[in-house]
Amino acid sequence: MSAHPIIVRVAGITGRIRGMKYKRSDGRNVRPSLVIIDDPQTSESAGSLEQTRKRIRVLAGDILGLAGPGQKISGVMPCTIIRPGDMADTILDKNKHPDWNGEKTRMVYKFPDNMKLWEKYAEIRAESLRTDGNFQAATDFYRENREAMDAGAEVSWEARHNHDEISALQHAMNLKFQDETAFRSEYQNDPLPDDDSDEALLTVDEIASKVSGLKQSRIPMACDKLTMFIDVQKALLFYVVTAWNDEFTGAVIDYGAWPDQRRRMFSLADANPTIQSVFPQAGFEGGLYGALTELTDDYLSREWPREDGAMFKVERAMIDANWGQSTDIVYQFCRQSTHSNLILPSHGRYVGASSKPMTEYRKKPGDRLGLNWMIPNVAGKRAIRHVIYDSNFWKSFIHARLAVAVGDKSSLTFYGRAPLQHQLIAEHLTAEYRVKTAGRGRVVDEWKIRPQHNDNHFFDCLAGCAVCASMLGATLPEFGNGTRMRKGAIKLSNRRGGSRESVGNRMPGEKIKLSEMRNRKR
């Protein structure tokens, strides 16, 4: 045993540190010769410039001065950068603190070359977690495509992964898909910058307070387009009905779930009743078909009153067809529904910064292209027109509309006068956060679900409603004519009864032959 045993003392960075010493049995005082400063900041202090400065002063004076006059001390500081410019980020900057031999370690030093396969993996992973409670299907996809998905990647610790993962890269990508912000900070030492105050997302209270004062189901005077979107889940259908004008001034006039939950606050996890309980004798496909029939027969047959007494019907509706178990039945329903002229299956596509933007898609014969949406020509098993749209773009679009003050052009509001009644939809609208990502010479918002927030269904619905409005001709000056309609083209709405405009010498509602429409376009 050493004649001079090692002495260890512990203290917090905000505690009593200055002058720390130990008196030996021979009466001699000894002072520290090595100090380990383990994670010396909190999330709160990292966000405070004053607290950051104070802790750096404590480190330089109180802690590194513990050895006493004329004595040197060794210091080791394992730390995590929580925010740009925080204590850890400052100390690791060799220009500011060259006395510290700072080194940033990362879980991933180089990301894979083929991120498109990883985006597909992320979709499979999310769907598998929702339906099966695990991501085995995503792991199987990774195993089949591992060579291509690993190409170009460099990780720091090959053995670091969980028992249900194949590699350290898969483990890292799972953490990234789970929470981009936490991954960049905790595992990459490269935290995302905070949003500028003018771009920060609205809070639940701020969103819920955007009320118009109109009764539920009442269309504002400024609006003349009515759209609906249905988000398909195993237990419930979530839906939103929104009124718009040509400049994207919008109003949510109705929303909810089918079957009706008969309460203001609920979640998908505690749904009661469910589609299965309403159709106990039907299988999954039969229950979903019945639920879609009930909901659309009710909402698409209605006439919705405007403030001036004019009556409107929903002009365009879309149904989410992304969920693998429901895709075929959604397509079948849209083909066979009595409202097939109004309903289209839809696929929200995750278009990241590394993906080819939809604005660069080449139009093929039979395709219809719009503002970050397209209706491709189709053939085969699912021979029905459907919509593909950039979900990242349209979610950012919705939050931009929410940020516009009530009364200004292109603002989005909710019915009623009591903000409290819209708390649920506001929570769905804040269940995701955006990450500004650069790629292909552009910067885009990529939307990620927040940890512990599983319900974002009304957010998906509202984005889908905006896509429908774009299909009906709504646009903003900065986007130009997003629907790309040719000069002289005739809107489908002009062929329907009750249309707001006549076509040539015909009255609204009078049918037009297809050959005559083609001649007019020429």
Q: Quote the pLDDT of residue 484.
A: 41
Do 97 and 116 fall into the same domain?
no
In a domain, 448, yes or no: yes
d(CA 326, CA 369): 26
Q: Quote the pLDDT of residue 517.
A: 43
- For helices 115-132 and 136-144, the axis angle rounded to 10 degrees is 150
Q: What is the DSSP string of 227-280?
A: EEEEEE-SS-EEEEEEEE-TT--EEEEEEEEES---SSS--STT-SS-HHHHST
Select the more confidently predicted residue: 489 or 166. Answer: 166
Decide if 125 contacts 350 (C-beta within 8 A). no
Torsion of CA 260, 243, 229, 459, to 10 degrees: -80
In a domain, 44, yes or no: yes
In a domain, 67, yes or no: yes
Do 264 and 209 fall into the same domain?
yes
Which residues contact residue 336 at a Cβ distance below 8 angstroms, ignoring those fewer than 6 apart? none
Q: For a pLDDT cut of 70, what percent of the chain falls above it?
A: 88
Tell me how many domains the chain contains. Answer: 3
In a domain, 221, yes or no: yes
Do 44 and 177 fall into the same domain?
no
Do 262 and 158 fall into the same domain?
no
Q: For tokens 């879609």, what's the residue?
A: 292
Do 450 and 354 fall into the same domain?
yes
- H/E element, 54: helix 49-58
Residue ranges making up the domain that contains 42: 1-102
Q: Does 41 score more than 60 pLDDT?
A: yes
Do 152 and 253 fall into the same domain?
no
**pLDDT tens, position by position, 200-239:** 688 888 999 999 999 999 999 999 999 999 999 999 999 9
Instruction: Show which of 158, 187, 216 is a domain's final residue.
Output: 187
In a domain, 263, yes or no: yes
Q: Quote the pLDDT of residue 48.
A: 74
Mean pLDDT on 86-113: 89
Decide if 252 contacts 214 (C-beta within 8 A). no
Q: Quote the pLDDT of residue 286.
A: 96
In a domain, 151, yes or no: yes
In a domain, 507, yes or no: no
Do 226 and 358 fall into the same domain?
yes
At residue 29, what is the residue type? N
Mean pLDDT on 348-359: 85
**pLDDT tens, position by position, 106-157:** 999 999 999 999 999 999 999 999 888 899 999 999 999 999 999 999 999 9
pLDDT band, very low/low/confident/very high, at 193 (cuts 50, 70, 90): low
Name the most confidently modeled range: 126-140, 252-266, 373-387, 430-444.
Answer: 252-266
pLDDT band, very low/low/confident/very high, at 1 (cuts 50, 70, 90): very low
Do 268 and 349 fall into the same domain?
yes
Do 380 and 282 fall into the same domain?
yes
Q: Quote the pLDDT of residue 194.
A: 56
Strands 34-36 and 74-76: parallel
Do 247 and 174 fall into the same domain?
no
Do 141 and 219 fall into the same domain?
no
What's the Rg (C-alpha) of the chain? 29
Q: Quote the pLDDT of residue 121.
A: 95
What are the residues facing 412 on neighbouring strands? 250
The pTM assigned to this predicted structure is 0.60
**pLDDT tens, position by position, 478-506:** 776 544 433 334 444 443 433 333 333 33
Instruction: Show which of 63, 81, 102 is a domain's final residue.
Output: 102
Q: Compute the C-alpha angle 338/340/342, nearest 5°.
A: 115
In a domain, 513, yes or no: no
